[in-house]
Amino acid sequence: MTAVRIACKLLLFLFLTMPASWAQETEMDSIEQIVVTATRTESALRDVARSISVVHKDRIQNATQQLGLDEVLNGIPGLYMQNRYNFAQDLRVAIRGFGLRSSFGIRGIKIFVDDIPETLPDGQAQVDSIDLGSAERIEVLRGPASSLYGNASGGVISVVSELGGSEPFVEAKLGVGELGYEKYQLKAAGQLDRVDYLFNASHQNFAGYREHSSSSGDLINSKVRWNISDGDSLTIVFNHTDQPAEQDPGGIDAAQAAADPRSAHAQNVLLNAGEELSQQRIGLVYRSNRLGGDLLLRNYYVWRDFANRLPFVDGGSVDLERFFYGAGAQYSLTDLASSKLNLSFGLDVERQDDDRRRLDNNQGVLGSLVFDQQEQVDSDGVCVQGHYRLGKAWSVNAGLRYDDLQYTVTD
């Protein structure tokens, strides 16, 4: 009798759950297909074996103040972001543990904006030039991706800016709030004949909660795609970031926080701790699918001037002039071996040149030169990845990459 009862319960369970499963499968089939590119090839999200999350335009542009990337990516599994709302200190980002050991900057994670790397050849990345006001989507690839991107790729964050594709329009936004928050934005986008374009400019002020924590910045992001033919396109991207005043209030102890939580560390105020930066990025991306496969070529140049005043005198002022550039190529073959095999080949060449100086910080005024060195990083990589479909429910993915990195320091 016990066996009969168990069998009846099992049949009842299957009867109740199978229609729901059929309905869910039908609903999944009717959902619009989401295509991701963080895997270095265009793939349907439901067919990708890796863990990928996608955040779309509505949440990025309409559901946040766009103060930081953490507002947009909050809640993604495996992604940890710590924001002190201190614009003089970098946002801390970690994906499944990669990046947690970094005391400053973002390391262990590869960041891309419109197919152009924000991550330096030495593995460090910044997010202060990412324009959330014109972002179409953000893809987060969780887990090691070293076979795809090489150095510093414990995870990938890929930002894709929106583009025309419609009748031309002009949009203006104004945002105000507490703590001196102000944001002004002007955006124009559209399509003219074979050209899609985007232009977005914004200015932001933020006084901050604490003393000596104000910030201000201007950001320009533009993107133009020329559809040369049905199978060829050339995209040009330009980004300009100017942050002339990012103050650092520093850390305070428990007693000072209890007495005045809005106060700043006295040494930070005395030495005017904070940073200033200016960055320009220009990139070109060419795509073609007329050569028997999908071809992508990219070339980019980034100039970054950075000054940082730390809360101590001896060597407390940092002056950095940085120039890094690179080129890459990728060729993908699809539907090989009776439409079961996809292959992709990639090449990346990157160069970084830093002119780094340290000077004394005399109450916010540059003092004597105490440190002067030239830093160069050369990074070359080649990779191949394959995807083989064994059937409707099974597939095999494999990747192989070789990287050569050289670091040179001249004092």
pLDDT of residue 235: 96
Residue matched to tokens 């970084």: 352
> Which CATH fold would you assign to the domain 35-410?
Maltoporin; Chain A (2.40.170)
Please answer whether residues 214 and 204 qualify as being in contact, where contact means their C-beta atoms are separated by less than 8 angstroms. no
Q: Where are the domains of the chain?
A: 35-410
Please answer whether residues 289 and 231 qualify as being in contact, where contact means their C-beta atoms are separated by less than 8 angstroms. yes
Helix-strand-coil percent breakdown of the chain, rounded to 5? 15, 55, 30
Total Cβ atoms within 10 A of residue 89: 17
Structure tokens, 6: 């168990």
Structure tokens, 172: 């203006």
Amino acid at 200: N
pLDDT of residue 46: 61
Please give the helix or strand (H or E) that residue 284 lies within, else none.
strand 274-288
- CA pair distance 156, 380, nearest whole angstrom: 19
Please answer whether residues 161 and 138 qualify as being in contact, where contact means their C-beta atoms are separated by less than 8 angstroms. no
Provide the residue-wise pLDDT of the chain in tens; the chain has 411 residues: 455 455 444 444 443 444 433 333 333 444 556 666 666 666 665 666 568 888 988 888 887 788 888 888 888 888 888 876 788 887 888 888 888 877 777 888 899 999 999 999 988 888 889 999 999 999 998 877 767 777 767 888 999 999 877 789 999 999 999 999 999 999 999 999 899 999 999 999 999 999 999 999 999 999 999 999 888 999 999 999 999 989 999 989 999 999 999 999 999 999 999 999 999 999 999 999 887 789 999 999 999 999 999 999 999 999 999 999 999 999 998 878 777 888 999 999 999 999 999 999 998 888 999 999 999 999 999 999 888 888 878 888 888 999 999 999 999
- In sequence order, what are the residues at sequence separation of 6 or more whose Cβ sits closer than 8 angstroms to the Cβ of residue 370? 314, 315, 358, 359, 360
- CA pair distance 297, 327, nearest whole angstrom: 8
Going by C-alpha positions, the residue among 43, 26, 25 that lies closest to residue 34 is 43
pLDDT of residue 92: 85
Four-point Cα dihedral 42, 287, 289, 39, nearest 10: -20
- In sequence order, what are the residues at sequence separation of 6 or more whose Cβ sits closer than 8 angstroms to the Cβ of residue 305? 277, 278, 279, 320, 321, 322
Pairing of strands 341-362, 317-335: antiparallel
pLDDT of residue 318: 94
pLDDT of residue 85: 76
The pTM of the whole model exceeds 0.75: yes
According to DSSP, residue 204 is labeled: E
Please answer whether residues 287 and 295 qualify as being in contact, where contact means their C-beta atoms are separated by less than 8 angstroms. yes
